[in-house]
Structure 1
Amino acid sequence: MTFPHGQPIIDTMMGFPTVGFEQYDFIRKQTKDRQSQQEFQFPAEYMFKHVPKELPTEDPVSVTLHEMDRWSIEKALIGVTGESAQLALKRHPDRFIPSGNVDDPNQVVETVRQIKRDYEEYGIRAVGAFPAGTFPQVAINDKKMYPVYATCVELGIPIFCCAGVPGPRLKFEPQRVEYIDEVMYDFPDLVFVTRHGCEPWEELAVKLLLKWPNLYYSTSAFAPKYYPQKVIDFANTRGADKIIYAGYFPMGLSLERIMTDMPNVPFRDEVWPKFLYENAARVLKLDR
């Protein structure tokens, strides 16, 4: 159960330092409590002791690359929008993996068109979705999402989708883990990767991971100290091929916090290379 220091890592949720927190305005405009509206810069700030707010922003790509090199992160999955992301993808295609995003599934036709444009322009390897953050909210199993899933299947790319109670003070209904079952039933060829923990339904998530061959779990937004025990137990038994590492830099966690916690996770020796690299490489088709 020894952490393999020096093992190459793929981080399936990475970002870049920014000036201010305007990128979260789409969440803030939906919240109603005073703290979310007036006090929090980061919408889930109450959940994290040390949000990395003071990072240099003169050269965001270099800051992220420095942290990646420091912690043996060989590649990182990033969005394709924003100046920093586009610069990173242009200058460092060997380090950054492009991902599209489902911004507003209420606009069904435009959403599908955007995914296809991103695929053609950037060669996206995945699509991200945050059901609780859409406005009006669109649930995981809402039929408005079905064209997105069909498009992912058509293009041969996975969807990384938040599931479980969201950190921001938004309604959790759209992210109930049981909704994933219906989606996997209707789209058996869809590769679906959960984000942000699936809590408090992590036991159900494990049951579904065992049931559906193309369903995976990523550890985004969790310090390793708080990885759900049910998920750790599953990885150490029948689920070594189903659990994928994801961080949360620089949104809510520093890589130093994540990686100094990581050696204390009681994964079996054979689980580590799959968790840190191999499962993500397979899902993202990085060997092709």
Structure 2
Amino acid sequence: MLDGHVLVDAHVHVPLLDTLAPAWVDWARQFGRPGILEEIWRPDGSPDPAALDRHMADEGVDVALLFCEYSPKATGYQRFDDLLPLVEHNPRRFRPVANVNPHLHHPIARELTRQLDLGAAALKIHPVHGGFRADDAMMYPAYAVLVERGVPLVVHSGTSTFPGSTNSYADPVYLDAVVRDFPDLQVVLAHGGRGWWYDAAAFLAVSRPNVWIELSGLPPRRLPEYYARFDLARLSRKFIYGTDWPGVPGQAANARAIAALDIPEDVVPLVLGGNALRVYSGLDPAV
């Protein structure tokens, strides 16, 4: 726990370093805490489960959702199965998140089902890196599986500077049809419309009960600026805490900065953990 609150970091990357594009390592060194790669990753590029567990405990993180990404054009080929040793080390703290790319996985529903059967708490898709739109018909079989299994969809919804990215695919407008066609699907907007689409992301979140804004990659002190056209007290009820770790100086510091914003006192525990426990599949903070 952190300051009496359950803390769920809903956006964490712990790949094998040799599966990455060089730009990813540069990003982690630029935005992360100095020395964090050497602290958590072994010389062979594999993450040390015990070191990762200690780090999360020190930062007050009760549950961390671990991402993978099949985007060889942009960030690399980060395999879902490589997350499983980390989850096995502490299955209560660590949960994997599935990822599929319609250009690589066919039939897509079969691969998603495989990852869900291995314990995935959500499906994260990465249109901006993977080279597809969220409303592409190729994705609809995957969304049907999510609804059947009661598992949420996380969508990268923000600009990316990685080489090979197609930023236009991050536009939240492409989710309008998805939310229409799958009204029972919980949809989480990772990065909250970062760059060009804060208003669009916020509008979807306040107008649709099943749409959420996940705060990874957004400096907490700038949230009132990013969402200036919306009532922050109301909008914050749809926030889910996430960091984009290791590309963040500190998880506890970010969480405390969010708690210090001008949002209702009863909303703070929802942002830091309560909303994630409601949305994601089978989380157990055990506090």
Q: Quote the sequence identity (%).
A: 24
State the AA in 2 paired with 1:113: R
> Which residue does the alignment assign to 2:48?
60
Task: Evaluate the alpha carbon distance shift between residue 147 and residue 276 of structure 1 in structure 2; reply closer, same or farther with a 3 A threshold.
Answer: same
> Which residue does the alignment assign to 2:88?
90
Contact 1:236 1:271 (C-alpha < 8 Å) held by counterparts: no
SS in 2 for 1:109: coil
SS in 1 for 2:206: helix
Contact 1:222 1:248 (C-alpha < 8 Å) held by counterparts: no
- Measure the CA separation in 1 of the matches of 2:274 and 2:229: 19
Deviates more, 1:236-245 or 1:88-97: 236-245
Report how far residue 5 of structure 1 moved: 1.9
Q: How many residues align?
A: 266
In structure 2, which of residues 28, 31, 40 is the aligned counterpart of residue 48 of structure 1?
31
Contact 2:40 2:52 (C-alpha < 8 Å) held by counterparts: no
- Measure the CA separation in 1 of the matches of 2:25 and 2:243: 16
Report how far residue 153 of structure 1 moved: 1.0
Deviates more, 1:53-62 or 1:89-98: 53-62
- Measure the CA separation in 2 of the matches of 1:17 and 1:115: 19
Report how far residue 229 of structure 1 moved: 3.1
Matched, 1:151 2:135: no
Map 1:94-113; keep pairs closer than 5 Å. Answer: 94-102=92-100, 104-107=101-104, 109-113=106-110
In structure 2, which of residues 168, 171, 180 is the aligned counterpart of residue 173 of structure 1?
168
When the two chains are superposed, the root-mean-square deviation of aligned CA atoms in Å is 2.9
- CA deviation map 1:19-55 (0-9, x unaligned): xx43333xx7xxxxxxxxxxx4536569737574443
SS in 1 for 2:50: helix
State the AA in 1 paired with 2:39: L
SS in 2 for 1:13: strand
> Which residue does the alignment assign to 2:72?
none
State the AA in 2 paired with 1:188: P
- CA deviation map 1:136-171 (0-9, x unaligned): x11112212212211211211001110122232422
Task: Evaluate the alpha carbon distance shift between residue 156 and residue 172 of structure 1 in structure 2; reply closer, same or farther with a 3 A threshold.
Answer: same
- CA deviation map 1:58-115 (0-9, x unaligned): 462222222221122111111474676212222311111222111x212463321111
- Measure the CA separation in 2 of the matches of 1:249 and 1:46: 11
Deviates more, 1:261-270 or 1:230-239: 230-239
Where structure 2 has 5 or more consecutive residues not aligned to the other structure, the ranges are: 69-78
Contact 1:78 1:97 (C-alpha < 8 Å) held by counterparts: yes
State the AA in 2 paired with 1:114: E
Task: Evaluate the alpha carbon distance shift between residue 68 and residue 287 of structure 1 in structure 2; reply closer, same or farther with a 3 A threshold.
Answer: closer
> Which residue does the alignment assign to 2:4?
6
> Which residue does the alignment assign to 2:112?
115
Task: Evaluate the alpha carbon distance shift between residue 43 and residue 139 of structure 1 in structure 2; reply closer, same or farther with a 3 A threshold.
Answer: farther
State the AA in 2 paired with 1:13: H
> Which residue does the alignment assign to 1:218?
214
Contact 1:131 1:140 (C-alpha < 8 Å) held by counterparts: yes
Contact 1:223 1:257 (C-alpha < 8 Å) held by counterparts: no
Contact 1:9 1:74 (C-alpha < 8 Å) held by counterparts: yes
In structure 1, which of residues 181, 184, 192 is the aligned counterpart of residue 187 of structure 2?
192
Contact 1:106 1:144 (C-alpha < 8 Å) held by counterparts: no
TM-score (normalizing by structure 1): 0.80
Task: Evaluate the alpha carbon distance shift between residue 54 and residue 108 of structure 1 in structure 2; reply closer, same or farther with a 3 A threshold.
Answer: closer
SS in 2 for 1:161: strand
Contact 1:232 1:267 (C-alpha < 8 Å) held by counterparts: no
TM-score (normalizing by structure 2): 0.80
> Which residue does the alignment assign to 1:248?
244
SS in 2 for 1:239: helix
> Which residue does the alignment assign to 1:22?
18
Task: Evaluate the alpha carbon distance shift between residue 45 and residue 62 of structure 1 in structure 2; reply closer, same or farther with a 3 A threshold.
Answer: closer
> Which residue does the alignment assign to 1:132?
128
